[in-house]
A and B are shown apart, each in its own frame.
Chain A
Amino acid sequence: MSSFNEIFEQCSWEDTSKSIYAKTDADVKRALLARKRTLEDFKALISPAAAPYLEEMAQISQQLTRKRFGQVVQMYVPLYLSNECNNICTYCGFSYDNKVKRKTLSPMEIMQEVAAIKEMGFDHVLLVTGEANQTVHTAYFKQVLQLIRPHFAHISMEVQPLDYEEYESLRPYGLNTVLVYQETYHEEDYKKHHPKGKKSNFQYRLETPDRLGKAGMHRIGLGVLIGLEDWRTDSFYTAMHLDYLEKTYWKSKYSISFPRLRPFSGGLEPKIAMSDRELVQLICAYRLFNEEVELSISTRESHSFRDNIIKLGITAMSAASKTNPGGYVVEPQSLEQFEISDERSASEIAEMIARQGYEAVWKDWDISL
């Protein structure tokens, strides 16, 4: 099977990193003026040399986003189904070696959570689990999808990577989008952060978007966990991955997220921190590089940051998120995967979006069509 791995193997982390940090003022200026921007332009835009051009990047990013998407923000909410997990991940609250009470929602509990989510106004739900293949498997996902499909216009999933056949079999159940974050493209570091469990297989994860593309998934989400490694280099790999996927699986849409490492009980400190300013630079760089990709921001980010980022290139946003299974009504006190930062309600977020002259969109797809 040909996959992104072939491109990945031709790149060295060190050389890529060096070439990003070697970008000059002239490279940035050329990237800003280019009519069609290349991966090399993206490097320039995420490099330290682009820092003085942040306002210019933001202006262009806003124009491009409005041209393509209009003045809207798509709203979604996560639904954590399970925190059972056989993986050890150094940064995650659900890590196998973390002593927390494990729970997988029953059908009845799922429906209680769904009712609460619907009450808030959401029509797009993101199903989240850990990786526990004995209990939370394709048959379970099918059962959940069957159960909730009548209640949502758009169902996304962020669970363990699955095989091609499994993705293909889930599509008819109304699964529209799958997010699978590489966490980091630094292979050795990846192995350090994922010492145990199926997730420790770097290559299987790296090739997951290929399997999704082959299975004809409508939308595929990419991203890295910012803080594990140098964000510039990791983001460049993400952009390269995006570029490859768009050319290969040209019928799929793509989205990018930029989760910054958040505190959780017993958590990991970021190895390399990313400032707000740098996150804005990254968001704008993605938009300048790719006018069509959806850019999503979660409640990991702060109240004021989220208010200000609306106009800078973001197209999707979660709100009122709970990151624990049963967090909305069933077991609100259970341990969260990570602490969210923006705790405002869905309607407060929608009002904030409206105040900026944008519209919160609750439904932009319909699985019944």
Chain B
Amino acid sequence: MLKIADKIFKSRLFTGTGKFSSALQMEESLLASGSELVTIALKRVDLQANDDDILTHLKHPHINLLPNTSGVRNAKEAIFAAQMAREALETNWVKLEIHPDPKYLMPDPIETLKATEELAKLGFIVLPYIHADPVLCKRLEDAGTAAVMPLGSPIGSNKGLRTIDFLEIIISQSKVPVIVDAGIGAPSDACKAMEIGADAVLVNTAIAVSGNPVLMAEAFKIAVESGRMAFEAKLGGVGTQAIGTSPLTSFLD
């Protein structure tokens, strides 16, 4: 069972709310995905209105909201956004996204580390979106992060796990859950991420822009479950190592 901070998740598929053709389609897709943690861009929510369309469609007992700070450019703005989200959505969970670069939306590691430190001190459950950088992950752990969310490839690119070598290092040494975020383009990518031991994946674009988002959401649900099962069952090794001709242990005979 996946546990982040004090919350237990049955589903290891986290989802997003962007790029769907309608709020209703989003709702149906998220229900089909079984996801229990759904990220929502603060900038998209009308925090004043009581009946914001997106929020209305997310009102299901099993769905937890994960406000994200998408759009902010530095730590200061991120902290402000997180505090706003806590007020408005009554959650101290925040997905930290700081990308000063509007074109590729690459996360800023320095500002992200600063903001994580501050927000953790302020009692937030921080889930930072970052590059697949193993050292940054350890620095974030030291700063009090609740999980790390390294990217598989550029956000929205659907290119899959281009960073797999670094993800494997991160997974092997992490003390907090590792959630592969960004770039997962197909259920097979999500499945692979789970097979290598990721604790969860976050998928948005690949579901939202597919020909049939509801069906795709279900496909991801199954892929994530399947990948996790394979990880728990332990994969068999690939191939055998060639054994050298001169024995190394004959001196023991």
Whether A58 touches B234, Cβ cut-off 8 Å, given contacts A36-B168, A63-B241, is no
In whole angstroms, how far apart are the Cα atoms of A59 and B238 in the complex? 17
Within 8 A of B (CB), among A18-52: 30, 32-36
B172 at the A/B interface (Cβ < 8 Å)? yes
Q: Does B1 contact A (CB under 8 A)?
A: no
A247 contacts B173, C-beta separation under 8 Å: yes
Question: What's the Cα separation between A311 and B249 when bound, in Å?
Answer: 10
**B252 an interface residue at 8 Å Cβ cutoff?**
yes
**B136 CB to nearest A CB, Å:** 12
**Within the assembled complex, what's the spacing in Å between the Cα atoms of A36 and B237?**
9
- Asked if A62 CB lies within 8 Å of chain B CBs, one says yes
Q: A247-B173, A247-B175 are in contact. Are A59 and B240 (CB under 8 A)?
A: no
B174 close to chain A: CB less than 8 A: yes
The answer for the CA separation of A280 and B247 in the assembled complex, in Å, is 13
CA distance A288 to B222 in the complex (A): 34
A248-B243 contact given A30-B234, A304-B251, A312-B248, CB 8 Å threshold: no
Q: B241's contact among A36, A59, A277, A304, by CB below 8 Å, is which?
A: A59
B54-86 interface code vs A (CB 8 A; 1 in, 0 out) = 000000000000000000000000000000000
8 A Cβ contacts from A218-253 to B: 246-248, 250
Is B238 touching A58 in the complex (CB atoms < 8 A)?
A: no
Q: Are A250 and B238 in contact (CB under 8 A)?
A: no
The reply to whether B252 and A56 contact each other, CB–CB distance below 8 Å, is no
Whether B240 and A33, one on each chain, are in contact in the complex, defined by CB atoms closer than 8 angstroms, is: yes
User: Is A59 touching B244 in the complex (CB atoms < 8 A)?
Assistant: yes
Q: How many residues of B contact A (CB 8 A)?
A: 20
Known contacts A58-B249, A59-B248, A62-B248: does B174 contact A247 (CB below 8 Å)? Answer: yes
Tell me whether A189 is interfacial, beta carbon within 8 Å: no
Given known A-B contacts A56-B243, A59-B243, A250-B138, A35 and B237 have beta carbons under 8 A apart: yes
Interface size on A, residues (CB 8 A): 25
Is B102's CB within 8 Å of the partner chain A? no
Q: Give CA–CA (A248, B173) in the complex, Å.
A: 9
**A144 contacts the other chain (Cβ, under 8 Å)?**
no
Distance (whole angstroms) from the CB of B85 to the closest CB of chain A = 30
Which residue, of A58, A60, A62, A63, has the highest number of chain B Cβ atoms within 10 A? A58
CB neighbours (8 Å) of B173 from chain A are 246-247, 250
Give the docked Cα–Cα distance between A125 and B247 (Å): 34
Chain A neighbourhood of B241, CB < 8 A: 32, 56, 59-60, 63
Closest residue of chain A to B172 (Cβ to Cβ) is A36
**Residues on the B chain within 8 Å of A277, using CB:** 249, 252
How distant is the Cα of A276 from the Cα of B172 in the complex, in angstroms? 32
Q: Map CB proximity to A onto B192-223 as digits: 1 under 8 Å, 0 otherwise.
A: 00000000000000000000000000000000
B236 at the interface (CB under 8 A from A): yes
- Chain A residues within an 8 Å CB radius of B247: 55
A280-327 residues at the B interface, CB under 8 angstroms: 280, 304, 308, 311-312
Selected from B138, B174, B252, the residue in CB contact (under 8 A) with A280 is B252
For residues 71 through 111 of chain B, which have their beta carbon under 8 Å from a beta carbon of chain A? none
B residues near A (Cβ < 8 Å) are 138, 168, 172-175, 234, 236-241, 243-244, 247-249, 251-252
